Structure 1
Amino acid sequence: MLTTHEDTAMSDCSTSHKRHYEYTYRLPTPPRIVVPPPTLSADIPELSVGRVADTPDGEVDTSFLKEQNLESVVQKNMLLEWSYERRRQAQMILPWLYLGPLTAAKDKEFLVRECITMTLAIRPRETSMNGALHVGKELDLETGTIEASNYFTLISNFSRATKMINRHMAKVRQLTAAGGSPRMGKVLVFCESGNEKSAATVAAYLMETLDDFDHVKSMQVCQAQRFCVNFDDTVKNILRSHWDILTARRAVASSRVGILRSTPLPSSLQSVEPLLNSPNNSTSRQKRTIEDIIDDDDMEMDDGMDPSDKLRFSGRDITPFQDSR
């Protein structure tokens, strides 16, 4: 009888046992995040500014963003119209937000034509992209920078970038309203290629500003508007982590100020609504310790199993080998 490599991988085990699951020889990886590509038949997510955008940082009022009509913003036929030359140009993601490469931030004609009022550079170090920032200053535009040498540094700056954009929007609105003709500012977010770090920053902005807009929808809209963006597995998982942070942050904020009965929760928070509305819910309530669980007379201790192990392993079939007899 021939013995395969898989059968001999545990050669020092007794032959009376056989493997319960198939062997795998690759490194453990997180589940793949699938982003539906823009096609002619794909359903584009609906865009609407959420209630979170009213006071994103408690300092500025961006409720005027709700006045924007976002129904026809996302292009339906980008796949047919896209050409390679458009990689060097910037595309509109929202009426007040553009995404593009470094060359677009240096294009004075484009900046004037599109009425850009701020350029935000996502750069690896402080000495990068100074030429593009100098062009913005020559045109009397507001300039901002986010320094991120890698994606893991960038995730801590997502909310900072959102605040910078919204503060500028509120500033332009306030200044133009004082002159009698209020108008919207426009922000160009760019990096070297316009396809990686700046695209991730814009996707994070969509998650924080739009109503019930998760990481998949945000990446899908960015890709529909700028077909050449590159969301690899690392970026996808970082954006998913940021969405989890936003969801937790909003749940905590809702539990503190209370939820208005007349305003329905977005689907991302419906699962936590019963917990938030529970009469026993209190932010000052002390959590039970493991000692309290062990001393609880109501808990049955089967087979002498520790309660923490019982919660983790009860009902799970994780036996790697089983008796073949």
Structure 2
Amino acid sequence: MDATAYTQDQLRELIQGPSDVEWTYEMRRQCQEILPRLFLGPLQASKSLEALQSLGITHVVCIRDAKEAFSVRPRFPEHFHYMVLDVQDSEEQNLIRLFPQAKQFIDDAIAKGGCVLVHCNGGISLSPSFVVMYTMQYYGLSWEDALHLVQNRRYCISPNGGFMTQIKEYESIYKAKNAIASHPQQGIVSVRRKRSDEDDEDHIQREGARNKRILIDDDDDDAMET
């Protein structure tokens, strides 16, 4: 089903999540399906070839701090397509800059009928932040609703303060992109108007400078006559 075809009632049900699932501590070590064919989990979920194949996983987004590279790494490159993102698990890390390439990888995989696992070391802060932003744009949700949707399927997620700030910022970013995409001509007109205004301003500045030179030349001529 096209994400844009959901009614408000259907979106509310999606956000609330399944009511028949009782969360247990052990589930922290497993991955959960957040969207159709998009799973979120920790490092442990990426270690079992049999478990990944049973879920139909075809692509894996491996997100890690550089110092974790020896353990958080592609384990079955002969079986799955991997994207590795080396980031810092700190509040200063810019996730918004890295997100577009992760989104493209996930989009391409799902478009081909694949299933994607997004994981980091613990599946608590880093990888959930990417999945919340993806969910937000996928369903056209606010950051609060996207966060609740992901949290209602993987209860243990808790993005750090810096990541939460970027998740909130991303809402206005993706909505602005959608607005431009749906009204491209307005964007062109706006750019042309801006360029026209800049040209007018340049013309005014040139005319002002020319008039100033004329006045100076006239003053010099008067001074010479005197």
| 1:214 positional shift | 1.9
When the two chains are superposed, the root-mean-square deviation of aligned CA atoms in Å is: 3.0
| Aligned residue number for residue 186 of structure 1 | 115
SS, match of residue 192 in structure 2:
coil
Show the 5 A alignment for 1:1-325.
Answer: 49-50=3-4, 74-78=17-21, 81-125=22-66, 128=69, 132-134=73-75, 136-138=76-78, 140-149=79-88, 150-151=90-91, 152-170=93-111, 173=112, 184-210=113-139, 212-257=140-185, 282-286=190-194
Report the alpha carbon displacement of residue 160 of structure 1 after superposing the two structures with TM. Answer: 1.4
Secondary structure at the counterpart of residue 34 of structure 2: strand
Question: Which one-letter code corresponds to 2:132 in the other structure?
Answer: A
Asked if the contact 1:102/1:129 (under 8 Å) is kept, the reply is no
Aligned to 2:208: none
Shift of residue 169 of structure 1?
A: 2.4
In structure 2, distance between residues paired with 1:88 and 1:164: 24
Q: Identify unmatched segments of 5+ residues in structure 1.
A: 1-46, 52-68, 174-183, 259-275, 293-325
Aligned residue for 2:66, secondary structure, equals: coil
Gap change, CA 1:191 and 1:217, over 3 Å in 2: same
Normalised by the size of structure 2, how large is the TM-score? 0.73
2:206 aligned residue = none
Which SS does the other structure have where 2:84 is aligned? strand
TM-score under structure 1 length normalisation: 0.52
The residue identity in structure 1 corresponding to 2:55 is: E
| C-alpha distance 86-221 of structure 1, shift in aligned 2 (>3 A) | same
Q: Which runs of 5+ in 2 are unaligned?
A: 202-226
Matched to 2:61, the amino acid is: L
Query: 1:129, CA displacement in angstroms?
Result: 5.4
Report the Cα offset of residue 126 of structure 1: 8.0
Query: What displacement does 1:255 show?
Result: 3.3
CA distance in 2, matches of 1:215, 1:72: 14
Aligned length: 191
Q: What is aligned with 1:6?
A: none
- Check conservation: 2:56, 2:115, Cα contact below 8 A: yes
Q: Which amino acid aligns with 1:208?
A: Q
Deviation at 1:187, TM superposition (A): 0.3
Distance 1:160 1:50, change over 3 A: farther
1:183-216 deviation per Cα after TM superposition (whole angstroms, max 9, x unaligned): x311000000001110000011112222x21211
**Secondary structure of 2:101's match?**
helix
